[in-house]
Amino acid sequence: MLNLFRRCPHIAPAYSRKPRIRNYHAGHSDVPSKGDKVVVAMSGGVDSSVVAKILADKDYDLSAVFMRNWDTQDESGTDYGCEWKKDWEDVQRVCRMLDIPVRMVDLSREYWLRVFEPSLRIWQLGHTPNPDVWCNKEIKFGALLEHLAEDPAFSKVPWLATGHYAHKDWKLTPDSSRPRPRLLKHRDTTKDQTYYLSSMRETSLSRALFPLSGLKKTEVRELAAAWKLPTATRKESMGICFVGEKRKFDEFLSQYVTPKPGPIIDITTGKQVAAHQGLWSHTIGQGAKISGLPRKMFVVKKDLEANTIFTAPGTDHPALYVNNIRVSDFNWVWADSPPKEVLQTSGLKARMKYRHRMTDVACTVYHDDLGMRIAFDEPQRAVAPGQIASIYLGDWCLGCGVIDSSE
């Protein structure tokens, strides 16, 4: 196995009307004051660049940080052609233009231990993890905040601003003398990223700033162009952060997970139609890519003990749908006060997501002797164990857990 430790990827239009930027902290005092230290987490993309410009126009003690989360030199023996270098160069260009001090922080070891290795263990089990969710909890709003808290330049943990499409407000509860932070959906539902932020701790959320909460992506692009930011035309980053955009996922993962061949079975006939090199190489709901069959086959189930993948023809086979899921390691953002309804026999009426790019669906959340169970109001398609189940009350994201099983 290679010794690896790459970055986690992760308006004024050009006319005379002055752009209107929603005041993301209006109406509450628990926000940065004049002269407060604010750090912008920059990735080299257009979103964090616009955040930097918005905050540069405020009366804050502003600085920027770039996280290096993946060391390609340990992987390939060279930094030649490394994407993080291009990202770092773009961050520095933006900060020079805005006259903001910036530095790089190497969190590759923390990323390896707190995100990549746990994800590897889930893949090895045959499930499908979501490293980007844990990257936000453990690295950007975890290790980075820890690093800043230990910096002698800061007398206390600074505010941390990011380019996420999310919103935050504060709510006074009967059990607390101070308002508590709530993670809320972005008004542009096509870009909302609360799913990726749903594992955040309340302490981290309380120091987080989301300056793009009132802006659509198109408006962010317009702002970047109007302000002539160096990253204005940069394309959006896609793919899992440590795999990148140029490599195939299976090829990358095969460097770390030992192959374990097994059969692929047609669930409608019980016959073997192909073989796989490991349960991790297929995801429930994904096309099975089996040639020579009359219809396209889709993965509907995995038997971990038998090391077997089951497939069915078509995208709407009944075996693709489930009514309930079991969830473990649930993280409520307000860890000390989960909704009381969860413990009641009637359960908590809520909505949930099990993928980022989906409309949340109605469900009921229960907690019984076996842990947490989520019952869907209507059967849901292609729910993959290992993925993240995020719970919402309206626009309010309450937290998330890992999908263990479905039925």
Q: What is the CATH number of the domain that holds 59?
A: 3.40.50.620
For residue 119, give the H/E element and its range: helix 117-125
Site of tokens 């790459």: 6
Same domain, 286 and 400: no
Average pLDDT over residues 393-401: 97
Indicate the pTM of the whole model: 0.87
Contact 321, 379 (CB under 8 A): yes
**Residues 128, 184: Cα–Cα separation, whole Å:** 26
| Structural domain includes residue 331 | yes
Domain that holds residue 278: 258-315
Tokens of 322: 């489930």
For residue 235, give the DSSP letter.
Answer: P
Tokens of 219: 């408006």
Average pLDDT over residues 191-208: 96
Contact 161, 41 (CB under 8 A): yes
Taking 50 as the threshold, does the pLDDT of residue 81 lie above it? Answer: no
Average pLDDT over residues 253-260: 88
Tokens of 3: 């010794």
Reduced to 3 states, what is the DSSP secondary structure of residue 165?
coil
* pLDDT bucket at 240, cuts 50 / 70 / 90: low
pLDDT for residue 153: 76
Contact 384, 284 (CB under 8 A): yes
**Residues 334, 344: Cα–Cα separation, whole Å:** 19
Average pLDDT, the chain: 87
Taking 50 as the threshold, does the pLDDT of residue 336 lie above it? Answer: yes
Same domain, 305 and 262: yes
Domain count along the chain: 3
Q: What is the CATH number of the domain that holds 369?
A: 2.40.30.10
Q: Which of 315, 336, 355 is the last residue of a domain?
A: 315
Same domain, 352 and 402: yes
Average pLDDT over residues 212-227: 96
pLDDT for residue 156: 76
Contact 171, 179 (CB under 8 A): yes
Same domain, 80 and 221: yes
% residues pLDDT > 70 (the chain): 87
**Residues 154, 166: Cα–Cα separation, whole Å:** 26
Same domain, 308 and 330: no
Same domain, 151 and 77: yes
* pLDDT bucket at 245, cuts 50 / 70 / 90: low
Taking 90 as the threshold, does the pLDDT of residue 247 lie above it? Answer: no
Tokens of 326: 């079991």
For residue 236, give the DSSP letter.
Answer: P
| Structural domain includes residue 134 | yes
Residues designated catalytic: 135, 241
Contact 148, 67 (CB under 8 A): no
Query: Which of 341 and 71 is assigned the larger pLDDT?
Result: 341
* Residues 276-301: tens digit of each pLDDT: 999 999 999 999 999 989 999 999 99
Same domain, 372 and 393: yes
Same domain, 150 and 41: yes
pLDDT for residue 157: 81
Length of the chain: 407
**Residues 217, 186: Cα–Cα separation, whole Å:** 11
Q: Which of 315, 337, 362 is the last residue of a domain?
A: 315
Residue 371 backbone class (left: φ over 0; alpha: ψ -120 to 50; beta: rest): left
**Residues 10, 194: Cα–Cα separation, whole Å:** 14
Average pLDDT over residues 106-127: 93
Tokens of 172: 């006074």
Same domain, 118 and 142: yes
Taking 80 as the threshold, does the pLDDT of residue 368 lie above it? Answer: yes
Average pLDDT over residues 365-377: 94
* pLDDT bucket at 9, cuts 50 / 70 / 90: very low
**Integer CA distances (angstroms), 322 to 314, 318, 404, in order:** 16, 9, 13
Site of tokens 């196995």: 1
Same domain, 279 and 377: no
